[in-house]
């Protein structure tokens, strides 16, 4: 693992000012000059690396916020199972991006994090499958109860046997029409 940036070792107030300078679009030279004026011995290249990393992180945060806003808007009225599936897909995408960005390096902390994320993903998929199955079974049970109730409302078995074929067909047609 690399060394801690010399900028990260700066006093919190100075580092906050550096962030404000970066956010306001100041150049590496302007930030370096500010730090020199403050009496900090930081190389120009360290400022450049820090600025680049901060800008990349800010861009990633903006992308994440846009994605989150889009997802929240699209899921406002979505059933719970769709929300769960989307979260699973987002986690799976994040894991794949991390694997691609590792460039074959085997940092044990990253591997541990990926293993835990994969385990959590598998658990989430299992829970999602169980929820989907439970919802389907509940829906099927409710539909069966509704059909049974409608059939009981048509009449007793003796009454139904006494009906002509045409009358029975009419009642069955009403039953299906009322069920829509």
Q: What is the pLDDT of residues 131-178, one digit of tens each?
A: 888 988 998 999 888 888 887 877 788 888 888 888 888 877 877 775
* Cα–Cα distance, 151 to 103 (Å, whole number): 65
Residues 154/171, Cβ–Cβ less than 8 Å: yes
Residue 49 banded pLDDT, cuts 50, 70, 90? very high
pLDDT of residue 104: 58
* Cα–Cα distance, 49 to 123 (Å, whole number): 39
Question: Which value, in Å, is the radius of gyration of the alpha carbons in the chain?
Answer: 31
More confident residue, 116 or 50: 50
Alpha helices in 75-107 (DSSP H): 80-101
Q: Using a cut of 0.85, tell me whether the model's pTM lies above it.
A: no
Q: What is the pLDDT of residues 56-110, one digit of tens each?
A: 888 877 776 676 666 656 655 555 556 666 666 666 666 666 666 655 565 667 6
């Amino acid at each position: 693992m690399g060394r801690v940036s010399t900028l990260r070792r700066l006093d919190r107030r100075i580092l906050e000012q550096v962030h404000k300078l970066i956010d306001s679009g100041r150049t590496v030279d302007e930030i370096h000059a500010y730090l020199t004026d403050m009496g900090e011995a930081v190389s120009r290249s360290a400022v450049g690396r820090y600025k680049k990393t901060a800008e990349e992180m800010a861009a990633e945060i903006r992308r994440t916020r846009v994605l989150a806003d889009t997802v929240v808007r699209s899921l406002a009225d979505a059933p719970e199972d769709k929300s769960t599936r989307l979260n699973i897909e987002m986690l799976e995408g994040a894991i794949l991006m991390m694997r691609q960005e590792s460039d074959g390096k085997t940092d044990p902390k990253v591997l541990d994090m990926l293993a835990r994320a994969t385990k959590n993903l598998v658990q989430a998929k299992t829970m999602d499958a169980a929820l989907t199955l439970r919802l389907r079974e509940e829906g099927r049970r409710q539909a069966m109860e509704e059909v049974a109730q409608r059939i009981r409302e048509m009449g007793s078995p003796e009454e139904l046997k006494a009906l002509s074929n045409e009358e029975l067909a009419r009642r069955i047609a009403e039953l299906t029409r009322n069920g829509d």
